[in-house]
Amino acid sequence: MDWNDLKYFLTLAQAKSLSAAAARLGTSPSTVSRRIEALEQALKVRLFRPHRDGYSLTEAGQSLVPEAEQAGTRMRVFERNALEAGDDLAGTVRIEAPELLGRDVLLPALIRFMEDYPAIRLELRSSVQPVRLAAEEADLVIRLVRPVRGNYRLRRVGKIRFGLYASADHVARHGIPDRPEDLHRHRVIGWTEDFAFLTMAGWLAANCPGLRPSLRLTSFTAQVEAVGMDAGWAVLPEFIAVPAGFLPGLASLPRLESDLWLLAHEQSLALPRVRLVRDHIAGILKNRFHGPKSED
């Protein structure tokens, strides 16, 4: 079997027509058709069912999509690592990190790191959405929840504490909620419904059932800015809220704490530059968040 045929299989599965798949791949529809036929012959199974509007996956083809995606991802990682293996401390390292941690903690330290290692190129992607580990697109990933699968080696590098915070001016005008039921009489900044899976949103919902936020946002940066503009109370990480001068509320409740995990892709760890960046980031996070002894 030609591993390159997987690319044609996955593209046709997504595009659902030979012409659309060919346009994405920069080739001809006849080439796509020929590669699909070759793959079906090699596997001895029918993968697609042609019809008037295009192509649909057979049951056998549908069952192969997850494995084909994983195999394709690993081949891309392997090819990139092979191409960039010539120089031990030169090349790209891709990093995924939670939004505020990436912006306020990692970015300043990594800029200083780049002065010492100018041949290492860094890609830092920061988002409140956790990266899909199955995609295996990052060399290093920082997470607040320990993953249960994926081709990554883990280190626990610290613990982040969260609390309910508001600006000093807002507190001066509206007071501080001491008990969860008090919060129903205050303005609260929360997350939109599609972010209800976040640990912070779950903590607030569990401790204040039925709470309806006055303002719903989709990023930590926006929530920090809203608190700074006296918009109300929000669940924020302590490392952001305390330096900003925000004041805590709900003192009767235990603070939310989340372990901080540093993940390194198994294949990427063969590259010295990835190990160097991993160890540098681990040191940054342990110093900032008082991490325990590493767990590999």
pLDDT digits (tens, 9 = 90+) for 89-135: 888 899 999 999 999 999 999 999 999 999 999 999 988 776 555 44
Neighbours of 237 (CB within 10 A): 25
What does the mean pLDDT of the chain come to?
87
Which band of pLDDT confidence, cut at 50, 70 and 90, is reported for residue 284?
very high
Q: Evaluate whether 5-83 and 88-296 have a shared fold.
A: no
**Hey, what CATH class is 88-296 in?**
alpha beta
CA-based torsion, 163, 164, 166, 172: positive or negative: negative
Amino acid 121: pLDDT = 92
Q: Is the pLDDT of residue 36 over 80?
A: yes
Q: Could you tell me the two tokens for 214?
A: 């006055």
Structural domain spans, the chain: 5-83, 88-296
CA–CA gap between residue 197 and residue 3 (Å, rounded): 37
5-83: CATH topology is Arc Repressor Mutant, subunit A (1.10.10)
**Distance between CA atoms of residues 105 and 97, nearest Å:** 10
